[in-house]
């Protein structure tokens, strides 16, 4: 018997959490001095978002702020969604090769950062992975119940390669070498959306906040309890036991392979695809959490390290001073490993 789980299924199961991620949660804001927060929620990018402010807004129109947040996220969708035929990215993907295609400065920025991470990781992160994601049933075409054939893999793999795309300073614009090359920013766009909302809040005069989109997070200042925001990283084997970190002025993202998958003939195929071989990852790494200056950086790096696995991913994180936390499945349970930069954010385990 085959059980197929889609991204929508996982989001529905996670709605009971303060944050909509299956991997992280907001630590309880208990204590006598806890204040009543303002929370703004909605839907975007195929998932949910929340903006938590540590107290009631003073001098700021909450209705107008809600509308502004929706407008910012709608703009990101109009720029970078592959689910919208009229988005900038979809139109570029349908465009012919060889000529610069004008896009917004934001789209160029995100694509450029995605390409930088692709080069840094030797292709473990690849924004042209879309045909492989679709082929395995984790993209817009929908789910599947059995793995693709080798001939299907070979055909899809021919259209993948980050070296076939460039982000140009002129116009700004994107350009590709092959007509069939498509860009998929699902591994970085949510993080960018978090950063965009954070910029809006700061420009509006809101200095303390926690912004979350589908589990990607950015926090600044104090929480409703009067100290830094506390985020819990869930363990795959025990939702009650988690590592608690303190976050102030940084972005955080977690990538994992144990929540979204399908099974066929007793084999589990997770949604994390390795662009280097075209197949779902098969190593023992269960999740990777990254803390970075921006949520966009954390989003892309957590995906890349997740693809690379427990050894290569950890080695890359250590060599580049990336604050990363790894949970791996072993024969006796789950093990945890953290790079030195991550330890300064760690508070305790509950």
pLDDT digits (tens, 9 = 90+) for 118-176: 999 999 999 999 899 888 888 777 777 789 899 999 999 999 999 999 999 988 999 99
Distance of CA 95 to the CA centre of its chain: 26
Question: Based on the domain organization, do 87 and 64 belong to the same domain?
Answer: no
Of residues 197 and 259, more confidence is placed in: 197
N-to-C CA span, the chain: 37
159: CATH? 1.10.3980.10
Residue 183 lies in a domain: no
Residue 182 resides in a domain: no
Residue 289 has pLDDT above 90, yes or no: yes
Residue 141 lies in a domain: yes
Mean pLDDT over 327-348 rounds to: 90
Give the residue with greater pLDDT, 117 vs 28.
Answer: 117
In a domain, 189, yes or no: no
pTM: 0.87
- The answer to the question of residue 198 being in a domain is yes
Q: Is the pLDDT of residue 27 over 90?
A: no
Looking at the structure, tell me whether residues 55 and 109 fall in a common domain.
no
Among candidate residues 145, 176, 207, the one where a domain is terminated: 176
Of the residues 131, 147, 176, which one is the last residue of a structural domain?
176
Q: Residue 54 domain-assigned?
A: yes
Residue 208: is it exposed, middle or buried by C-beta count within 10 angstroms (0-12/13-18/19+)? middle
CA distance 7 to 83: 14
User: Containing domain of residue 133, as a range?
Assistant: 82-176
HEC string of the chain?
CCCECCHHHHHHHCCCCCCCCCCEEECCCCCCCCCCCEEEEEEECCEEEEEEECCCCCCCCHHHHHHHHHHHHHHHHHHHCCCCCCCHHHHHHHCCCCCCEECCHHHHHHHHHHHHHHHHCCCCCCCCCHHHHHHCCCCCCCCCCCCCCHHHHHHHHCCCCHHHEEEECCCCEEEECCCCCCCCCCCCHHHHHHHHHHHHHHHHCCCCEEEEECCEEEEECECCCCCEEEEEEEECCEEEEEEEEEECCEEEEEEECCCCEEEECCEEEECCEECCCCEECCCCEEEEEEEECCHHHHHHHHHHHHHHCCCHHHHHHHHCCCEEEEEEEECCEEEEEECHHHHCCEEEEC
Indicate if 110 and 145 belong to the same structural domain: yes
Instruction: Report the C-alpha gap between 315 and 24 in whole angstroms.
Output: 24
Residue 182: its pLDDT value, please? 93
CATH of residue 69's domain is 3.10.520.10
The verdict on 59 and 86 lying in the same domain is no
Tell me: do 95 and 207 sit in the same domain.
Answer: no
Tokens of 287: 């999740």
- The least confident of 32-41, 150-159, 186-195, 330-339 is 32-41
Q: Are residues 159 and 68 in the same domain?
A: no
Q: Are residues 199 and 333 in the same domain?
A: yes
Looking at the fold, whether 74 and 88 belong to one and the same domain comes out as no
Same-domain check for residues 154 and 261: no
Based on the domain organization, do 214 and 342 belong to the same domain?
Answer: yes
238 exposure class (CB count in 10 Å sphere: 0-12, 13-18, 19+): exposed
Residues 138 and 261 in one domain: no
pLDDT for res 333 = 80
- On whether both 261 and 295 belong to a single domain, the answer is yes
User: Rounded distance, CA 307 to CA 294, Å?
Assistant: 20
Residue 165 falls inside a structural domain: yes
Per-residue model confidence as pLDDT tens digits over 188-226 = 999 999 999 999 999 999 989 999 999 899 999 988 888
User: How many CB atoms are located within 10 Å of the residue 18 CB?
Assistant: 17
Q: Give how many domains the chain has, as a whole number.
A: 2
Higher pLDDT, 263 or 77: 77
Averaged pLDDT, 177-198: 95
Does a structural domain hold residue 188?
Answer: no
Q: Tell me which of 176, 209, 231 is where a domain ends.
A: 176
């Amino acid at each position: 018997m085959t059980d197929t789980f889609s991204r929508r299924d996982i989001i529905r199961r996670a709605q009971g959490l303060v944050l909509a991620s299956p991997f992280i949660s907001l630590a309880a804001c208990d204590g006598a001095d806890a204040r009543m927060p303002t929370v703004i929620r909605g839907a975007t990018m195929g998932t949910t978002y929340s903006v938590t402010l540590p107290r009631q807004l003073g001098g700021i129109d909450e209705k107008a702020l809600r509308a502004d947040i929706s407008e910012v996220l709608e703009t990101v969708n109009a720029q970078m969604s592959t689910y919208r035929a009229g988005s900038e990215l979809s139109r570029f993907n349908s465009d012919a090769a060889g000529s610069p295609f004008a896009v917004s400065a934001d789209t160029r920025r995100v694509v450029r950062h995605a390409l930088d991470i692709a080069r840094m990781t030797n292709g473990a992160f690849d924004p042209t992975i879309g045909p492989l994601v679709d082929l395995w049933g984790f993209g817009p075409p929908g789910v599947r119940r059995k793995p693709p054939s080798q001939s299907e893999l070979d055909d899809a793999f021919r259209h993948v390669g980050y070296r076939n795309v460039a982000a140009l300073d002129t116009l700004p614009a994107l350009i590709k070498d092959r007509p069939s090359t498509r860009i998929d920013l699902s591994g970085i766009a949510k993080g960018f959306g978090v950063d965009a909302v954070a910029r809006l809040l700061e420009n509006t005069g809101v200095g303390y906040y926690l912004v979350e989109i589908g589990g990607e997070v950015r926090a600044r200042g104090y929480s409703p309890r009067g100290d830094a925001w506390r985020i819990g990283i869930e363990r795959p084997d025990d939702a009650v036991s988690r590592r608690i970190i303190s976050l102030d002025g940084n972005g955080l993202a977690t990538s994992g392979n144990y929540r979204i998958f399908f099974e066929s003939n007793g084999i589990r195929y997770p949604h994390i695809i390795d662009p280097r071989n075209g197949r779902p990852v098969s190593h023992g790494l269960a999740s990777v959490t990254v803390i970075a200056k921006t949520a966009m950086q954390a989003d892309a790096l957590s995906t890349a390290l997740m693809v690379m696995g427990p050894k290569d991913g950890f080695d890359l994180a250590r060599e580049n001073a990336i604050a990363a936390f790894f949970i791996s499945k072993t024969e006796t349970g789950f093990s945890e490993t953290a790079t030195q930069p991550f330890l300064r954010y760690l508070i305790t385990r509950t």
